[in-house]
Amino acid sequence: MKNFKYIMLGCLLVLGSTSCKKWLDVNTDPDHPNNQSVLVQNRLPWVQKFYAYTAGVSNFRGSLQAGVFYSNSGSGNALSVTWIANTGNVTSYQTWFDEVASNLNDLYNSAKAEGAYSYMGAADVFHAMGFMEMLDLYGEMPYTQAISGIASPAYDNGKTIYNGCMAKLNEAISLFSKAQENGAPSFASGDMWCSGDASRWIKLCYGLKARYMLKLSKKADLFNADSILYCLSKGPQSNADNVVQPGYNNSTVTDYLEGDPVVTNGNFDYAGYGSNQRISQFYYNLLTNMRGAGLTDPRMTKIVPASMSNVQLNASGQVSSYTWNRSVGVDFYGPSTRLLAGGATSIITPSFAASTTKITYNIADPTALANFIAAQAAAGHTFTTSGNSVTVTYPAGSIYINSTNYLYSGDTVYVNMRSSALATSGNPNQPATNVNWYPTVAAFNAGVVGSTGSFQIRPVSDEEILTYHEMCFIKAEVEMRKADPADAYTAYLAGIQAHLNMMQAKLASWQAGGYASTNPDMAPMNQSDITTYLASNAVCQGAGTLTMSDIMLQKYVAMGCSLENWNDMRRFNFSAGNVGSFGVVYPGINRGPLFAGSANYTGTSVTDPRYWPRRWALPTNLEINYNLTNVLAVNPHATDPNIWSMPVWWDCVTDDEYNGYLKK
């Protein structure tokens, strides 16, 4: 590991004067910032912001491996479709150490000098969250020496990292329970998450402990259901206790390290910034046919994006009529017909027809030709045929695929998940309250929307750090493990309702803020649809028929763009069905027909742990090239191609199993 040196100080100088809120401000000497002059109340909000940025990329890439999203980018596609994971994922690692971890000792020590115990507690919380995330992703990491100033720190095993993070949370609870000393800076002046409410931070600590103790569900000697339930009783008790990083769309300032917008939601910066991402068929099916009920979840239209279609322009070139084209999911676990025909990364980003556009498709195969002609007729397109050629006319205002390959012509059904921020739209006339994506400035001027985006990954979405609905689903799982289906069922229903309520509150705030005037997906859900859904077979209607799969699939929907879905899948061995008596918890999750990662995932059956994605390889340009001796000292297989399928410590039943992977 390189010896990182307080890079955030430069960020404070560059960004402080134009940032989104009062907290994101400069220190006492903006012209000559230094490590000693940064006030703790100015350092904490940047730690909060950049932790959320780090978590955003982990959420996104973990969601790819959990089957939430499809990506047509090479790196993203390798995590979801082909599984050819031959390089490390550097961004989570780099942003964690550069932008967050490098500041934690200074935040803690400067707060200690002032008797600012709550700021010390916050430093402990970030220590726990960040290093636990690194453990989730990479397994063995520099930990005890990681932020000590040692240029080539030693590595620690997963158990050491886990126990260290839990100890930090315990200390944080103690610190938040102490009154700050006279003269200490107000906690409210530097806390973007809980407005200085130490009691909410204590609930956050207990909620994190519950989340982390749940990771030990495979370990008979360490898993303690009652301890988790105790932590849940001390954690968030309602949506009022949710901890989120708010996103804004009021600045064009970008991050010095990655060049992404600073004030926006961290999930947006990775999952919703570009045009690569689509909803997966797996996620789409849960939102439209949970438990085979054939009922659409009221959350679906808020999560699954739409574009305009059948657009008619008036004489002034403005939209006069249209219909909404709600995206379908990209299939990469099942038949994968579209991807097999065109290639794993072949789904095309649509274009806008500023004027009438004709495209001629040459189709040699008679069956494909007949099917294509039938599809054009069904869609109401104007077309002509000549032998093997079909010429389709796309009227002005159309969203279409600008390719002569007929295989791609229908890709408009896969609406990308992109939103627009002031820093990314490329359109100076697009107002802050319009976060739709438009393919071109001409499309914006005409009012033709290319994507409405998705609830969790808009620039103005809240990034969910810890939520009450997650706590409810944890309780439901733990009660099921305790063979108490009645309490599990109560918690299961509470989790669904809490998530619906959280979404509804955010949607109402967006409507009040003017966003829904250009984007109906940002308006509240219909209450009648919610009532119908809760009473339907999409939701289990009694404790006697509740399954672990019911709990975990509803949690999957609610968590969405979250690393926790991949963590949960690892705990249940994906679709192996060999954990306890719970059966297959995630039906349909498996290697797809475009799987090509046999070098990375060397297991030959679903019950073999090494069949599945278990961790990420360490970043070559940050660790392998600079600290290889220490890397191999703790895990001699860290550079092996199949490191991707080696379980991390908490993903093993025993320490002997874990150590066996390290020593083989």
DSSP string, 412-442: GGS-------TTTSS-TTS-TT---B-SSHH
How far is it, in rounded angstroms, from Cα 598 to Cα 602? 6
pLDDT tens digits for range 206-244? 999 999 999 999 999 999 999 999 999 999 999 999 999
Judged against a pLDDT cut of 50, whether residue 639 lies above it is answered with: yes
Judged against a pLDDT cut of 90, whether residue 626 lies above it is answered with: no
Could you give the angle at which helices 8-15 and 40-65 cross, rounded to 10 degrees? 110
Mean pLDDT in residue range 445-460: 98
Mean pLDDT in residue range 177-194: 97
Tokens 């490191």 identify what position?
A: 643
pLDDT at 281: 98
pLDDT at 439: 97
pLDDT at 38: 85
How far is it, in rounded angstroms, from Cα 74 to Cα 274? 13
DSSP 493: H
Q: Check if the beta carbon of residue 473 is closer than 8 Å to that of residue 464.
A: no
pLDDT tens digits for range 540-553? 999 999 999 999 99
Q: Check if the beta carbon of residue 327 is closer than 8 Å to that of residue 277.
A: no
pLDDT tens digits for range 79-123? 999 999 877 788 899 999 999 999 999 999 999 999 999 999 999
Judged against a pLDDT cut of 50, whether residue 11 lies above it is answered with: no
Judged against a pLDDT cut of 90, whether residue 36 lies above it is answered with: no
Mean pLDDT in residue range 629-656: 96
pLDDT at 89: 80
Judged against a pLDDT cut of 50, whether residue 134 lies above it is answered with: yes
Mean pLDDT in residue range 628-635: 95
pTM: 0.95
pLDDT at 237: 98
pLDDT tens digits for range 484-493? 999 999 999 9
Tokens 């917008």 identify what position?
A: 261
Judged against a pLDDT cut of 60, whether residue 25 lies above it is answered with: no
| Confidence at 287, pLDDT banded by 50, 70, 90 | very high
Mean pLDDT in residue range 140-167: 96
Tokens 């599945």 identify what position?
A: 612
pLDDT at 86: 75
pLDDT at 2: 38
pLDDT at 30: 54
Mean pLDDT in residue range 386-396: 97
pLDDT at 5: 36
Judged against a pLDDT cut of 70, whether residue 192 lies above it is answered with: yes
Provide CB contacts within 8 A for 114, sequence distance 6+: 40, 181, 183, 184, 185
How far is it, in rounded angstroms, from Cα 586 to Cα 589? 6
Nearest Cα to Cα of residue 640 among 659, 615, 621: 615
pLDDT at 7: 37
Nearest Cα to Cα of residue 287 among 518, 488, 58, 499: 499
Mean pLDDT in residue range 576-591: 97
pLDDT at 622: 74
How far is it, in rounded angstroms, from Cα 66 to Cα 283? 10
Q: Check if the beta carbon of residue 76 is closer than 8 Å to that of residue 277.
A: yes
**Residue 646, strand partner residues:** none
Mean pLDDT in residue range 357-386: 96
Length of the chain: 664
> What 3-state DSSP class applies to 367?
helix
Mean pLDDT in residue range 150-173: 97
Mean pLDDT in residue range 432-437: 98
Tokens 């099921």 identify what position?
A: 480
Q: Is 16 exposed, middle or buried (0-12, 13-18, 19+ CB in 10 A)?
A: middle
Nearest Cα to Cα of residue 447 among 438, 458, 459, 460: 438
DSSP 48-76: HHHHHHHHHHHHHHHHHHTTSEEE-SHHH
CATH 3.40.50.11900 for domain 8-278+461-663: no
Q: What residue type is assigned to position 574 of the chain?
A: F
Q: Check if the beta carbon of residue 192 is closer than 8 Å to that of residue 246.
A: yes
Residue 557 φ/ψ, nearest 5 degrees: -60, -45
How far the first Cα of the chain sits from its last, in Å, is 25
Q: What is the mean pLDDT of the chain?
A: 93
Ordered by start, the domain boundaries in the chain are: 8-278+461-663, 279-450
pLDDT at 32: 57
Judged against a pLDDT cut of 60, whether residue 388 lies above it is answered with: yes
Mean pLDDT in residue range 541-566: 98
